[in-house]
Each structure stands twice: as structure tokens, then as C-alpha cells.
Amino acid sequence: MSDSVPESTRQTLDRLYEDPENRLTSLFELAPDDEQVDAQLGVFKALANEHRIRILEALKEGELCACELQVVLDAPQSTVASHLRELKDAGLVKTRRQGKWTYYRIGDTAALQLLEIAHALAEGE
């Protein structure tokens, strides 16, 4: 495995550690597998937008249809629709169709936990 390590890196590590070979190995072991990172990334990307955060906050109190969310966000229909699509794709909201209305609700309480923890974390700074 150490064949893939550039010489410059090896030299750096040589200077830093008694046992560079061992340290190198443990550094590589710190990398989580791609699937896990991709999964986490999908969730955080879905949350990394003001409109989408506002949608989830609004849905705390219960389900709302897309047209109501347009009022909450004060944004055009197509804009709101695309954000709802992203939240749904990420599994953060679920939908229920009733007649011509589509109702959105929180898909997993973990989504609310994320919002709360992020809020608390930012407060603490």
C-alpha cells in the first residue's frame, strides 16, 4: 500500500515520526468508506440551503401542502417545487397526495434533530 504514497509525503512523515511506516498506515485507516461519506454528504447538501431549512422548520408543526409552503417562503412556485424535490430525494420529507394537493411532512425525526443540533452548535460560538 505504501507504493501509492508520494515521496514528498514519505519525507514529511519521516521527519515527523519515529515509525513513519506505521503512522502512515494508521492515517489511511482514518478514511471512512465512500458509501458512508456519500450518504452523509447527501443529507448535508440537502440541508445547505436557506429555503430548504425554512421548509423543514415550517413542517415541524405538521404537514403542509406545496401552495402553503409558497406562502411561508414567499417564493415562486417553481422555486419551491425544486427545493421540495431535493428534500424528498434526500429522504428528509415524505409526501401524500390528496386530490390536486401534495402534502409534505418531515420524513424522519432525525431531520429535526439535525436542525436543533446545528442551531445549538452555532449558538455556542
Where do contacts with DNA occur on this chain (CB under 7 A)?
12, 15, 45, 48-51, 65-67, 70, 75-79, 81-86, 95, 97, 99-102
Say how far apart CA 18 and CA 14 lie, in whole Å. 7
40, 90 contact by CB (below 8 A): no
CA atoms within 13 A on the CB side of 90: 24
Measured from the CB atom, is 41 or 117 closer to DNA? Answer: 41
By CB under 8 A, name the one of 7, 19, 50, 98 that touches a copy of itself: 50
By CB under 8 A, name the one of 1, 78, 98, 120 that touches a copy of itself: 120
Cell numbers 440541508 label which residue?
47
Contact status: 106 vs a copy of itself (CB under 8 A): no
Contact status: 2 vs a copy of itself (CB under 8 A): no
Q: How many other β-carbons are positioned within 10 Å of the β-carbon of residue 58?
A: 16
Q: Cell triple for residue 5?
A: 504514497
Measured from the CB atom, is 77 or 113 closer to DNA? Answer: 77
